[in-house]
């Protein structure tokens, strides 16, 4: 009896893993930057390209970096949520306009609302690569010391704001 039970035992272990696997999200690539310094950059601002912005300017504050583009359908979905969050003045949100055309980006913000403190133009996507961006939209939570504490992949939803982002932001503010 003993030897012949092993296939059944192995099978049960396998099923256990598969069942747990149903709760996971295999295509989401976690960020290797969690708890590491946000990569530095200097990019022109979207509204006024003569001025630049660097993440160092936000040191001492908890802030969000939201990657968006006018050609991105899912960004349109999350934009009301982002704008609503911005209106509560809980945390400044900086937009990273990813691989976009300036004119299109500006008119997109005019059409759909602009809750960003400012947006920067990453026309070639180089900064995106430095941040490990592989799809749009993505949102990073960066703390007062300039470390990335969380990366949200995909559109930010109301429940994500309520259950994940706001508690984390409150924690980091202390």
Binding site for other proteins (CB under 8 A): 1, 4-5, 7-8, 11-12, 15, 17-22, 24, 26-33, 71, 99, 101, 124-126, 129-132, 134-135
Instruction: Give the residue with the Cβ less far from other proteins, 64 or 136.
Output: 136
Provide the terminal-to-terminal Cα distance of the chain, rounded to the nearest Å. 61
Shortest distance (Å) from residue 67 CB to other proteins: 12
Measured between alpha carbons, how far is 31 from 21 in angstroms, rounded to an integer?
20
Any bridge partners for residue 119, and if so which? 95
**118-122/93-98 β-pairing:** parallel
Which of 27/159 has CB closer to other proteins? 27
Crossing angle of helices 73-87 and 102-112, in 10° steps, is: 60
Least distance (Å) between residue 122 CB and other proteins: 11
Instruction: Give the separation between CA 83 and CA 119, rounded to whole angstroms.
Output: 13
Closest distance of CB 101 from other proteins, Å: 8
Q: Which is nearer to other proteins, 27 or 174 (CB)?
A: 27
Q: Which is nearer to other proteins, 37 or 80 (CB)?
A: 37
């Amino acid at each position: 009896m003993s030897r012949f039970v092993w296939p059944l035992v192995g099978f049960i272990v396998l099923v256990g893993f598969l069942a747990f696997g149903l709760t996971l999200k295999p295509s989401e690539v976690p960020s290797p930057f969690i708890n590491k310094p946000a990569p530095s950059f200097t990019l022109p601002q979207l509204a006024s390209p003569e001025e630049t912005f660097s993440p160092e300017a936000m040191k001492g504050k908890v802030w969000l970096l939201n990657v968006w583009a006018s050609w991105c359908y899912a960004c349109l979905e999350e934009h009301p949520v982002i704008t609503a969050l911005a209106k509560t003045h809980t945390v400044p949100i900086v937009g990273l306009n990813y691989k976009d055309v300036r004119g299109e980006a500006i008119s997109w913000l005019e059409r759909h609302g602009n809750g960003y403190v400012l947006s920067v133009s990453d026309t070639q996507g180089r900064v995106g690569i430095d941040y490990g961006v592989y799809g749009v939209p993505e949102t990073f939570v960066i703390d007062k010391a300039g470390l990335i504490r969380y990366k949200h992949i995909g559109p930010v939803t109301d429940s994500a704001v309520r259950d994940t982002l706001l508690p984390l932001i409150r924690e980091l503010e202390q």
